[in-house]
Structure 1
């Protein structure tokens, strides 16, 4: 009761069962898979320097969440997830159960940390609408995602409140450091690698933290060495299909990692190469085009 203050029970009394179950969809707004899709497309088709800042913040927020979870080692609530509404086909029940369930430690809420950091960074470093509109939208998304974790019964109220505070504080710290640097992505990715390394030192060789460390290092090396062109890719149908194909390949790679046990060193190398290849892709495409142009002139 001390961490939850009855929030799960109160919310479930307020919302009817079908609405409660609908939060299983809303909570996806704070899932890592969605951040992968958004940030990959933003990096390839938008302002790459700003996108890489956000990528660094996202990796750092994930690493910080994992480090804190293992440091506090506090359990999740014992509440059962909301039942699948009768109007939903039974064939979707396994997918629903996977969405509304969660394992591991509960404090702080990773969805709350991630949403405050990532959606906040998107509001800070993108140009859609006005600054006020972006931050209002980010605040609304963070609120919905946070409430979804309570309604689904996978976090206590304190987990969510602390998560939003941690995510916001981490974003603020990185934003200040980036504002004083000449290479913002290097600062953001370096901070992410440092947080992941600290988490590994505190919690041991946890593979999720090793993956975060590898991703940060791989992205940082690719950003510094690949000579990535600043110009975004054309927003064509073919280009979008290529980008989505690469994102799906990344998601399948993560799924394979979850299903097939890998040694710690392989996790670091695989995550480093995966994100590094995404970051270096624009440079590789430019080299291919330049080579083809030279061949055509011969």
Structure 2
């Protein structure tokens, strides 16, 4: 069944010719590296690490849920002729829509600066820009992002109300979603390229769950230089795990170290 509705073409006609160039940068507000950069900094430098550990756990769960849903529906992205930037993999639902809804939404509920209404309004604007960017760039149909936002809101309500801000439960749920994504991917192919993202997700969620369960909320403080060093080291490891042609076991281990490292870093530096 067609999913396009002609929205991509209509937006390209309405918006200025330079709009896609701007949205190339706007869409990065929905990239996973942005979530974990901001999430790690909030977790490391906050006085309420348990609260921000929940933010990280919920975000991991949202990304893993996205992978599982994409594998389940297995619906293609728009054709390459419509894509302003290259995008691979399945298109429905939009991972940027789910991820940005969950991350920016839960961050607005967690931080204690400004008025809560202002925080939620700001998060809503960011989500709206991200989902619009995905359609303008031609990497998702409108239905992909609309359903993605709806799923993100339902998931967000569930983890906040159902899991009651408990990081261990949220990390555990993320592992379940990542395992489901891997099992669904195994239905169609056992190639390394097809299993890469589910294995990476399973490694990251498993590492985070194990380290969180092992250390409890660390209360050690982190200096700015220490934080910079941690971001650099974990960033390099993450880049290696995502960009280098490693065996799947290596992908699992590196992602486990990166996500587990974010959780354990305050305790490690304190020691």
TM-score (norm 2): 0.90
Gaps of 5+ in 1: 83-99, 234-238, 288-298
1:278 and 1:258 mapped to 2: Cα distance? 17
2:259 and 2:231 mapped to 1: Cα distance? 10
Q: 2:257 matched to which residue of 1?
A: 273
Is 1:195 aligned with 2:177?
yes
After superposition, residues 89-108 of structure 1 pair within 5 angstroms as 100-108=85-93
Q: 1:254 matched to which residue of 2?
A: 238
Q: 1:208 matched to which residue of 2?
A: 197
1:37-74 deviation line (CA, Å, top 9, x unaligned): 10110110012111111111111111111111111111
1:241 and 1:14 mapped to 2: Cα distance? 47
After superposition, residues 160-171 of structure 1 pair within 5 angstroms as 160-171=145-156
Is 1:41 aligned with 2:41?
yes
Is 1:222 aligned with 2:211?
yes
1:192 and 1:138 mapped to 2: Cα distance? 23
State whether residues 220 and 266 of structure 2, in contact with CA within 8 Å, keep that contact through their aligned partners in structure 1. no
> What do you get for the CA RMSD once the two structures are aligned?
1.8
The number of residue pairs the alignment matches comes to 262
Query: Could you tell me which of 158, 178, 181 is aligned with 1:173?
Result: 158
Q: How far 1:232 sits from its partner (Å)?
A: 4.6
Q: 1:74 matched to which residue of 2?
A: 75
Q: How far 1:248 sits from its partner (Å)?
A: 3.0
Q: 2:29 matched to which residue of 1?
A: 29
Q: How far 1:130 sits from its partner (Å)?
A: 1.5
1:25 and 1:154 mapped to 2: Cα distance? 14
Q: How far 1:246 sits from its partner (Å)?
A: 2.3
1:6-49 deviation line (CA, Å, top 9, x unaligned): 11111111111112311111001111111121011011001211
2:216 and 2:67 mapped to 1: Cα distance? 32
TM-score (norm 1): 0.83
Where 2:5 maps in the other structure, the secondary structure is coil
1:213-269 deviation line (CA, Å, top 9, x unaligned): 221121122112124433653xxxxx3333233223333223223333222222222
State whether residues 228 and 282 of structure 1, in contact with CA within 8 Å, keep that contact through their aligned partners in structure 2. no
Gaps of 5+ in 2: none
Residues 106 and 227 from structure 1, CA distance in 2 versus in 1: closer, same or farther, beyond 3 angstroms? Answer: closer
Query: Could you tell me which of 113, 134, 140 is aligned with 1:128?
Result: 113
1:262 and 1:116 mapped to 2: Cα distance? 31
Q: How far 1:167 sits from its partner (Å)?
A: 1.3
1:259 and 1:283 mapped to 2: Cα distance? 29
Where 1:17 maps in the other structure, the secondary structure is coil
